[in-house]
Amino acid sequence: MKIIRQEESLGGWYIVSLLIKLFGFPITIPWLIYHFINIMHQKWKRTGLKNKVVMITGASSGLGEALAHAFYRCGCRVILVARRKCELERVKNDLMKSYKTVPTHPPVILTLDLTDINNMKDEVSKIILIHGRIDVLINNAGISYRGKVINTHVDIDIKIMLTNYFSQVALSKIILPYMIEQKSGHIVGISSVQGRIAIPFRSAYAASKHALQAWYDTSRAELADKNIKFTVINPGYIKTSLSLNALKDDGETYGLMDKTTENGYEPEYVAERIVKSVVKQETEVTIAPISPRAAIVLRTLLPSLYFWIMKNRAKKLE
C-alpha cells in the first residue's frame, strides 16, 4: 500500500507542476480546489461501505485476497469464498490481525467449488443467513488459458467457460433474489481487457470474458428498476499467479510466470480501484495501460487494421 500511495502522490505533484507550466496559476488553482473537493467527497462516500456485506470469490490469493483487505479495511463484513480452506483461514487471520474493525463481525469463510453449480445454492444460502443479506457480490474467481485453437480440445473450452462464465452467472442468480427483496445490491464482475479484445493464443479465456461482458450488460438493463447495480472490471495484466495456474491446450498447467504478468499491476492497486468503482457505482472500468486501451478503440473504429495487427502478432508468437 505504501508503494501505491507514493506513486499516487508523485503522480499528483507531476500533474500540478505540469498544469502550472502549461496554464499558470489561474487554471491550476481552480483545478486543485475541484480535485480536493472530489477527494473529500469520495472519502465521505466510502464511509457508506461500513457494515456492508461483501462476498468475494477467489479470495484465497491474488486479487481476491487484495480485495478482502481493501473492503475489510473499509469496515465491511466480508464473506470469503474459495476452494482452499487453509488459505481462506490464513486470509481471515491476516485480516483480523491487521485492522481494527467491528469485533462482532469477523470474516466469514465459505469453502466452495464454484464449478459445482448444482450443489452451490444450499451452501450459499446458509452463509447468507449469517448476516441476512448480501450488499455487494464480487465475482473474482477465474482461470486463464494458453494455447492454439486447433490444438485445444473442446473439454478445455468447456472447463474455462464453466469457471469464468457459468459459475459467475449461477452464483449471481442465487444472490439476486435476496438483493431484489432488500431492494438494493451491487454485483461486480472481474472480467479482463480480453473481454473487450481477443488476442492470439487466448481463445477460450477471451471467449469466456466476452460472454461475461454480454451477460452483465443485459442484466444491468433488465434489473435497473430493481436498484441492482452491475459493474464490469476490465483489468490488464495483474501480478498474480493467474498465468502459473493457467490451462494449456492439452489440459496441463502452464506453470510459468509470463513477463507481462510479472510486470503487471500490483493486486492492491487494482483492488483499491475496484473499491472506488463500487463507491461511485460505475458501470464499467478498464484498468490498463494506454496500449490495450488504444486496441479497444481500434477494434471498434478500424477493425480491419486491428485484425491485421493480431494476424502479425500471431505469426510472431507462434
Residue 37 pLDDT: 56
Neighbours of 162 (CB within 10 A): 17
**Whether residue 205 lies in the annotated active site:** yes
**Of the residues 72, 145, 205, 306, which is catalytic?**
205
Q: Could you give all domains of the chain from N- to C-terminal order, each with its CATH number? A: 1-49 (no CATH), 51-286 (3.40.50.720), 288-318 (no CATH)
End-to-end Cα spacing for the chain: 38
Of the candidates 287, 108, 69, 277, which has an alpha carbon nearest to the alpha carbon of residue 188? 277
Q: What is the DSSP string of 8-40?
A: HHHHHHHHHHHHHHHH-HHHHHHHHHHHHHHHH
Q: Which three cell numbers stand for residue 236?
A: 490488464
pLDDT in tens, the chain (318 residues): 333 443 444 455 555 565 565 666 566 566 456 555 555 556 556 678 999 999 999 999 999 999 999 999 999 999 999 999 999 999 999 999 887 655 558 899 999 999 999 999 999 999 999 999 999 999 999 999 999 999 999 999 999 999 999 999 999 999 999 999 999 999 999 999 999 999 999 999 999 999 999 999 999 999 999 999 999 999 999 998 888 888 888 888 888 888 888 888 999 999 999 999 999 999 999 999 999 999 999 999 999 999 999 999 999 887
Q: Which three cell numbers stand for residue 78?
A: 466480508
Q: Is this model's pTM higher than 0.75 or not? A: yes
d(CA 117, CA 171) in angstroms, rounded, equals 8
Residue 3 pLDDT: 36
Residue 30 pLDDT: 65
In a 10 Å sphere around its CB, with 0-12 CB exposed, 13-18 middle and 19+ buried, how is residue 265 labelled? buried
Q: In angstroms, how far is CA 142 from the centroid of its own chain?
A: 10
Residue 241 pLDDT: 85
DSSP code, position 47 = G
How far is residue 230 from each of residues 191, 198, 245, 284, measured CA to CA in Å? Answer: 12, 23, 28, 8
